[in-house]
């Protein structure tokens, strides 16, 4: 291989270095995350009367936006001399932590709620060589345990309470503004532990302060109805939703998410699992396979539209946070069964009505 060749996207640290808390001495651990597609949805635009764009963060190296935060968290952990990292996870944080720790040759331990991790996410975590410890309890209990462990032992916590995670994740907002040459009017995102919405507000605020954009978007976060502590105003003891990535009853970034919604004149709202699944199938029929939790943003868009809360011609971005292959169960459950056909073109053509 020669050194020459077409330039490729360098990963969020190199692309947005001056906006991030790093120095010339920070070792950059990257899998060239970020630079994900912003895809216009013709059908959602037509239906809502808005200009609707889907930010497909499922196209990150491990298939979720978590990589944007993990490249920074792991780079800073290395800079600070860490030998091991730990996280609690509903699946995507562990997949991402495992991959970046592998890249950096760090030991990685993940605490997951027993029996609650989607197969694809577990496969990723294991194949990258992380130690997986199952905890009897939900995500919230696993996070408390991980925090406790990091307080007492020489191990760095890489959940989104690690401030470098949010700093990295804010680059999604930068990419959206750079692609549209302005901020959208509305920015819709699923909410679980509430780090991502907080980080996006940080990104828009940075760009606003620097004069790169002149108006920030209104931020709308969507929780699943059975796991909607922020909407209810109190923690949910036993959160329930098919959208496992947002099955969280006591979000770590609760206050930050509330401020993001308030300062941007948006809101944190709830959508039902039925709405989430309908949105999930819908974006898949447009060629983007996003996991159920991701579809909460599109479910939210349709929800706002149904309630007459969208302004015509508004530019709207829905963030699709994770890849559908991580949790394919719902894709198969809702689809037609494959049919068997004789191995001859005429039979196939008849079956297809050609």
Binding site for ligand PLP (CB under 6 A): 64, 66, 92, 160, 190-196, 245-246, 291, 293-294, 321-322
Rounded CA gap, 296 and 119, in Å? 20
Minimum Å gap between C-beta 253 and ligand PLP is 7
Minimum Å gap between C-beta 337 and ligand PLP is 28
Q: How many CB atoms lie within 10 A of CB 185?
A: 18
Between 64 and 75, name the residue whose CB sits nearer to ligand PLP. 64
Indicate if the alpha-carbon torsion angle 238, 239, 242, 245 is positive or negative: negative
Between 71 and 160, name the residue whose CB sits nearer to ligand PLP. 160
Between 168 and 195, name the residue whose CB sits nearer to ligand PLP. 195
Between 10 and 281, name the residue whose CB sits nearer to ligand PLP. 281
Minimum Å gap between C-beta 195 and ligand PLP is 3
Contact 331, 289 (CB under 8 A): yes
Minimum Å gap between C-beta 89 and ligand PLP is 8
Q: Which residue is at the shortest CB distance from ligand PLP?
A: 322
Burial class (CB in 10 A: 0-12, 13-18, 19+), 122: middle
Minimum Å gap between C-beta 92 and ligand PLP is 3
Q: How is residue 228 written in tokens?
A: 């909607």
Strand order in the sheet with 315-320: 38-40, 51-56, 315-320, 186-190, 218-224, 267-271
Q: How is residue 107 written in tokens?
A: 């030991």
Between 105 and 119, name the residue whose CB sits nearer to ligand PLP. 119
Burial class (CB in 10 A: 0-12, 13-18, 19+), 317: buried
Contact 56, 325 (CB under 8 A): no
Between 184 and 322, name the residue whose CB sits nearer to ligand PLP. 322
Minimum Å gap between C-beta 188 and ligand PLP is 12
């Amino acid at each position: 291989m020669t050194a020459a060749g077409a330039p490729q996207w360098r990963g969020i640290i190199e692309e947005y270095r001056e906006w991030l808390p790093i120095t010339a001495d920070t070792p950059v651990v990257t899998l060239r995350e970020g630079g994900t597609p912003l895809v216009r949805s013709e059908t959602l635009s037509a239906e809502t009367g808005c200009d609707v764009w889907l930010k497909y963060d499922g196209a990150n190296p491990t298939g979720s936006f978590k990589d944007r935060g993990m490249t920074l968290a792991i780079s800073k952990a290395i800079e600070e001399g860490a030998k091991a990292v730990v996280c609690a996870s509903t699946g995507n944080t562990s997949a991402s932590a495992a991959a970046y720790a592998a890249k950096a040759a760090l030991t990685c331990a993940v605490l997951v709620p027993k029996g609650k991790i989607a197969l694809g996410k577990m496969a990723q975590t294991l194949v990258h060589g992380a130690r997986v410890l199952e905890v009897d309890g939900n995500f919230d209990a696993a996070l408390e345990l991980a925090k406790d462990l990091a307080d007492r032992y020489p191990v760095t916590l890489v959940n989104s309470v690690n401030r470098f995670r949010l700093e990295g994740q804010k680059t999604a907002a930068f990419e959206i503004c750079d692609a549209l040459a302005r901020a959208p009017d509305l920015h819709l995102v699923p909410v679980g532990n509430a780090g991502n919405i907080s980080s996006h507000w940080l990104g828009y605020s940075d760009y606003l302060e620097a004069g790169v954009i002149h108006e920030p978007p209104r931020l709308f976060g969507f929780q699943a109805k059975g796991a909607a502590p922020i909407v209810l105003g109190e923690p949910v003891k036993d959160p329930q939703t098919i959208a496992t990535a947002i099955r969280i009853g006591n979000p770590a970034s609760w206050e930050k998410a509330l401020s993001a919604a308030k300062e941007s004149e948006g809101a944190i709202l709830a959508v039902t699992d039925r709405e989430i699944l309908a949105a999930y199938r819908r974006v898949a029929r447009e060629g983007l396979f996003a996991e159920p939790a991701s579809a909460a943003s599109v479910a939210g868009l349709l929800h706002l539209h149904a309630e007459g809360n969208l302004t015509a011609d508004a530019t709207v971005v829905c963030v699709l946070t994770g890849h559908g292959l991580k949790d394919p169960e719902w894709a198969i459950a809702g689809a037609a069964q494959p049919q068997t056909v004789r191995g001859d073109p005429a039979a196939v053509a008849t079956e297809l009505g050609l």
